[in-house]
Amino acid sequence: MKRCGIFTATAIVAAILAGGPAAAQDSASARLEALKAEINELRNEVEALKGDVAEGREEARGATGQMAAAKTEPPADAPSIRVSSSNQPTICSSDGRNCISLTSRLQLDFGGYNYRPNTTATTPQNLVGGVIARRAKFGVIGAFLNDWGYSIEFEGGGSGGGSGVVLDKAYLSYSGFEPFKIWAGILSVRYSLDRATSNNNITFMERAAPVEVAAGIGAATRSGFGITANERQWWAGAFLTGPASGRTSHDARQTAATGRVVFLPVLTDSASLLIGGDVQYLFDAPTGASELNLRDRIEMRIDGNRILGTGPLPIDSARVLSAELAGTLGSFHF
C-alpha cells in the first residue's frame, strides 16, 4: 500500500512538471502574437503619419504659391473701375500704373443786355441776348507708367470766341524728375494766378479782362513747351509758346516766352498769403492781316462782340510784366 501511494504521488508530480513547460510555451506564443499585432498596428500608424506629412507639405506649397501670387496679383474681387475723389469715372490697370479718366464741363448762360449807343457811329449798335453754352468740354485725361500724364479735351462752348468745336488741350507731361515736370503740346499756360485757377473756381464768371488781354501775347490756350517745379510753398514755371489753338487769326501766329514765380510765406489751415511775379515776351509778332490785337469779349459771353481791344498793333515784339498778391483769412479771400 505504501509503495502504491508513493508511485501515485510521483506520477502526479511528473504530470505537473511536464505540463508546466507546455503552458509556458503557449503563453510566450500568445505574447509574441500580441507583439506582432502591436508592431503591425504601429507600422500602419507610421504609414498614416507619413501620408499626413506629405499632404501637409503639399498644402504648405500651395499656400506659399498663393501668397506669392497674392503679392503680384490683385485680389480677385478688387474693382478695376473706380470713381476718383474729383468724381471723374476712372479706369485703371490692376497695378495702378496706367489710368484713364473721362472729364467734362458744361456751363450755360441765359440773359440779355440793356445797351443803348449814344450815336449811330458807336460800334456795335446792338447786343444780342439769349442762351449760350459758355463752356462745353469733353475729353479724357490719364497717366501711364506712373510718371507720364496726358490730356485730350475738346471745347464747343462760346467763351473762347471760337466757332464750332476746337481742340482745347492735347498735351503730354512727364514728372519723373521731382520736383520738376515737363509739358509739351496744346495746353493752358499758367500765366498769372487767374490763368492758373480753374474756371470752375474763379470768383466771377470769367477771368479779369486785363489778364485775358495780356494773355493774348503768349499765354492762354496754345501750343507750348515748358518746365515747372513746385514744393508746398512755392511754384515756378517757364514756357516757350506758339500759335493759339482754334482761336482767331489775330493771335494765331506768334512765338513768345512766359515765366511765373510764386511764393507763399504764410500757409496755414486758416490763413494764406501769396506773392508772385509774371513775365511775357513776344519774339515774333504776327504782321499784315494777322497783326497782334489784344482784346476781350464782354464777361457775359452771350453776345460775341469784343468791345475791349487795342486794335491791330504794328509791332515787332512786346513784353508784359505783372505782379501777384492774394490771400485768405478764414472765409475771406482777396
pLDDT digit string (tens) for 142-152?
999 989 999 99
What is the share, in percent, of the chain residues with pLDDT greater than 90? 26
256 within 8 A of 282, measured Cβ to Cβ: yes
> With 80 as the cut, is the pLDDT of residue 13 above it?
no
Rounded distance, CA 324 to CA 232, Å? 18
What CATH architecture is 81-115+133-333?
Answer: Beta Barrel (2.40)
pLDDT of residue 276: 95
180 within 8 A of 226, measured Cβ to Cβ: no
pLDDT of residue 264: 95
DSSP per residue over 9-73, as a string? HHHHHHHHHHHHHHHHHHHHHHHHHHHHHHHHHHHHHHHHHHHHHHHHHHHHHHHHHHHHHHHHS
pLDDT average, residue stretch 291-307: 78
> With 90 as the cut, is the pLDDT of residue 35 above it?
no
pLDDT of residue 261: 97
For 78-107, write each residue's pLDDT tens digit.
555 666 656 678 888 888 788 999 888 888
For 140-199, write each residue's pLDDT tens digit.
999 999 899 999 999 887 766 556 788 889 999 999 998 999 999 999 888 888 888 888
pTM of structure:
0.69
Coil, helix or strand for 129? coil
Rounded distance, CA 156 to CA 206, Å? 17
> With 80 as the cut, is the pLDDT of residue 26 above it?
no
Q: Phi/psi zone of residue 221: left (φ > 0), alpha (ψ -120 to 50 degrees), beta?
A: beta
Q: Where are the alpha helices (DSSP H) in the chain?
A: 2-72, 192-196, 209-215
Per-domain boundaries in the chain: 81-115+133-333
